[in-house]
Structure 1
């Protein structure tokens, strides 16, 4: 049979034999692409999206608006927030970012710095771009937001400013959380926003390797160097999401950002990304560049602001001062320590007991599950952004008061005893802290009314976070005593 098959071509010239080989290769490639597409369509986690980065035209979309888990693609937004602070001058490349005990305890992939150490902002960028370090992502979140939970609220607010309307963040690194969701479309928007808004920093995403001390870390993004013109951006993996990748390519006057989510393996994800780029890049425009992603105001930097503006030698307030006259000093103490107070905790995530932790395409990939089981392909819908997290200056963003845990007033009561739990450099942070405190200590504050007040210190405006509605002095101080068990510093004062 083999002789019969080969015989008809035995007399063909070398030119026809070469043409036949080309045709055979083409048909084989089509079969592989069709097989890959069929396999992807059978994968409930799969989504892909390709956008012309000059015009915004959608060149390809499959499940582009379906909710998915971002995994370490989350770190793209973490870096966006850090770039904002660098551009504003609040953070320099050499600014030290402290490593907390929480950050140091994050599971791999990580850099492995000990609690109490610091890392420069630039090395933190390299750590996220190459190693996708969870410990450094947490440190950045705590540094910018005062707590990782507050940072997640700022990230979600920023997502809404950028038009990422289907994305909700709960942490800075992307480790499993069933309320942290996004879409392929939103990740493409974020990729374009990073290129458009921070051209001075975008080249970090093309870093192939990074050395810190005696450690050398390679970039998990294998598409870099494999496709001409590829210049970033980020990989991601947790079991619940599959293998994710956002790629940026600029070549021959054309520019695209492509997203693949839910790959069955790092290699199949990369191969599919390469196929998408090769198919759709030639269709992209060579015309003039348009601004595709509108930019909102910069986010506040709570930790750095309070650290630079307030004395650090003020002791933490005692449970109950002898007289209300001590309130001024207590207020300074609350102002300098409020950013370190914990916010509302996200739902607990259980780790699969026999599975090693990891991230992206490292050998020790994450094998985590929610409460011991992999969630379904249809994640829990994202919780709307609380109105406390939306700065007043963002006129284009509608406050979602229907889901507010509290209705926060900016008008202080005319009289009576109130308790103060924090002073913050922005009203947004003060209101967020009030919502957090009321949620955590609902048994104590369930009937209390939150409000904010302004005061001046060293020429800067701060916002008192207070609760009213107490029957008298004893009731207010009793509430403060109860809040102590929740880790919330507090003092009472008569209005």
Structure 2
């Protein structure tokens, strides 16, 4: 990693001008081989991180600079494809004919042959994983008379989405000096893809794709390696460097990060992880805890947490209760109600990790936890703070069944008793 500054000091009598020149050349070599960082003012670097729900910018650097998107262009091709699917203009299993133009596209590609056929689904997956240029042209020609016409349609859609500094000239991102976009515009596109087509977005997390006996690995290396990462797309041409639009969701927070101009894929990925880490840390101060409430249920305070009127805000439109963390509060008196039991699936050093664990547990229990209320409790003891990942609002039997289900999947789970708040381990049988 390139240090932020080079320390200097008095040289010894034997330290010659030649030595200084050698040291200077070495420093320049380090710069040349390091990631193109935001501080380097590199001509093709830009980045932005946004909250995907609100569009709030959490960090940015040259976010409006027009640069070459490379294969990030395919995100718009996929947006157009998802839109056509949702309107019935394409069918997921529809077979598309491969034209001579599509077959003749340069790598990377699936190797489609002129006159052959590929389904819409396989063409989409080829874009997502292999970043296949031939598949991009096949999809473009299925939605427009020519790829050039489709590119105009892409640009018009971009303008409608608010991507005011973007112009497309093809469906793949292959080099074209008039095909430009910005980090901010690509963040807008990434958020639009997620929010407009949630029924198709899960394809973006596919880590590999098998087609005609070959396995194509997704170029997005954050998948499976960075907590919460679930899409979206990489890009590279020589003129752009290594680009990436990435989405990551932790608890109720989802961030979209964009980088243009990485020197290598690895350095770009490391930089993206750092930007997302900083973004999630900032989100904890903006929106610490978001506890989903069932629709039409009256707003209520999660059991076991003490709050004043100023620390609980209820957004009626979304039926959510936002709870500011406090130190360990006195236990509330036992409530003579059936649904005053809870579960705990761990205690963590960060609130985001507690939220992630609850989300993971919810996904493993097939709806058993949908009626519960998140209660991430910040507890400070002897100067150490931990966050208990709890969910309340169950009967004792429901809490027991949830824990048994999670334990069978090797997830730690305890019942939280209403009277004392003690943790009870339940038997799996």
Corresponding residue of 2:268: 269
**Residues 206 and 66 (structure 1 numbering): CA distance in 2 closer, same or farther, change over 3 Å?**
same
Give the corresponding residue for 1:180: 179
**Cα–Cα, structure 1 residues 64 and 179, in superposed 2: closer, same or farther, change >3 Å?**
same
Alignment of 1:452-463 (within 5 A): none
Listed one character per residue, the Cα deviations across residues 195-254 of structure 1 (whole Å, up to 9, x for unaligned) are 000000000100000001111100000011111100000000000000000000100221
Q: Which runs of 5+ in 2 are unaligned?
A: 1-30, 291-314, 319-429
Check if 1:217 corresponds to 2:219.
no
Task: Please tell me whether the aligned partners of residues 167 and 181 of structure 2 are also in contact (alpha carbons under 8 angstroms).
Answer: yes
Measured at CA, do residues 107 and 197 of structure 1 come closer, stay the same or move farther in structure 2, by a change above 3 Å?
same
Q: Distance in 2 between matches of 1:36 and 1:178?
A: 24
Find runs of 4+ consecutive structure 1 residues off by over 3 angstroms.
35-40, 285-291
Q: Indicate the residue corresponding to 1:151 in structure 2.
A: 150
Shift of 1:259: 0.3
- Residue 200 of structure 1 aligns to a residue in which SS? helix
Match of 1:49 in 2: 48
Whole-Å separation in 1 of the counterparts to 2:317 and 2:190? 15
Number of the residue aligned with 1:135: 134
In structure 2, the residue matched to 1:107 is: 106
Secondary structure at 1:124 match in 2? helix
Q: In structure 2, what is the Cα distance between the partners aligned to 1:147 and 1:111?
A: 20
Alpha-carbon distance in 1 for matches of 2:215, 2:64: 37
Contact 2:130 2:219 (C-alpha < 8 Å) held by counterparts: yes
CA distance in 2, matches of 1:61, 1:290: 30
For residue 61 of structure 1, what is the aligned residue in structure 2?
Answer: 60
TM-score (norm: length of structure 2):
0.58
RCO comparison, higher one (Cα < 8 Å, 6+): 1
Pair 1:282 & 2:291 matched: no
Match of 1:194 in 2: 193
Deviates more, 1:221-230 or 1:172-181: 221-230
Are the aligned partners of 2:36 and 2:42 in contact in 1 as well (CA < 8 Å)?
no
Sort the Cα spacing of 1:38 and 1:208 in 2 relative to 1 into closer, same or farther, 3 A: closer
Indicate the residue corresponding to 1:71 in structure 2.
70
Residue 258 (1) aligns with residue 225 (2): no
- Shift in CA distance, 229/39, structure 1 to aligned 2, threshold 3 Å: closer
TM-score (normalizing by structure 1): 0.50
**Contact 1:129–1:219 (8 Å) recurs in 2:** yes
Distance in 1 (alpha carbons) for counterparts of 2:69 and 2:276: 21
- Structure-2 separation of matches of 1:41 and 1:117: 48
Deviation at 1:290, TM superposition (A): 10
- The answer on whether the counterparts of 1:55 and 1:289 sit within 8 Å (CA) in structure 2 is no
User: Aligned equivalents of 1:234 and 1:115: distance in 2?
Assistant: 27
Matched residue of 1:43: which SS?
A: coil
Distance 1:65 1:289 in 2: 35
1:290–1:134 Cα change, 3 Å? farther
SS at match of 1:167: coil
Aligned residues: 258
Q: Would the aligned equivalents of 1:66 and 1:184 in 2 still touch at CA under 8 Å?
A: yes
Q: CA deviation at 1:38?
A: 5.0
Hey, what's the Cα distance between the residues in 2 that align with 1:240 and 1:135?
Answer: 21
Partner of 1:13: none
Alpha carbons of structure 1 residues 132 and 83: separation in structure 2 relative to 1, 3 Å: same
Task: Work out the CA distance in 2 between the residues paired with 1:39 and 1:159.
Answer: 26
Q: Is the 8 A contact 2:36 2:262 kept in 1?
A: no
Deviations 1:146-186 (A, max 9, x none): 10000000000000010000000000000000000000000
* Shift of residue 46, structure 1, vs aligned partner: 0.5
> Does structure 2 retain, via aligned residues, the 8 Å contact 1:69–1:240?
yes
The alpha carbon displacement at 1:97 in A equals 1.4
Q: 2 CA distance for matches of 1:61 and 1:98?
A: 42
SS in 1 for 2:198: coil
Is contact 2:35-2:268 (8 Å) kept?
A: no
Structure 1 residue 269 displacement after superposition: 0.4
The CA deviation string for residues 334-389 of structure 1, in whole angstroms up to 9 with x for no partner, is xxxxxxxxxxxxxxxxxxxxxxxxxxxxxxxxxxxxxxxxxxxxxxxxxxxxxxxx
1:132–1:39 Cα change, 3 Å: same
Tell me the CA shift for residue 266 of structure 1.
0.6
In proportion to residue count, which structure has more strand?
A: 2
1-structure distance, mates of 2:86, 2:270: 36
- Structure 1's unaligned 5+ residue stretches are 1-31, 292-495
Q: Contact 2:38–2:61 (CA<8 Å) still a contact in 1?
A: no
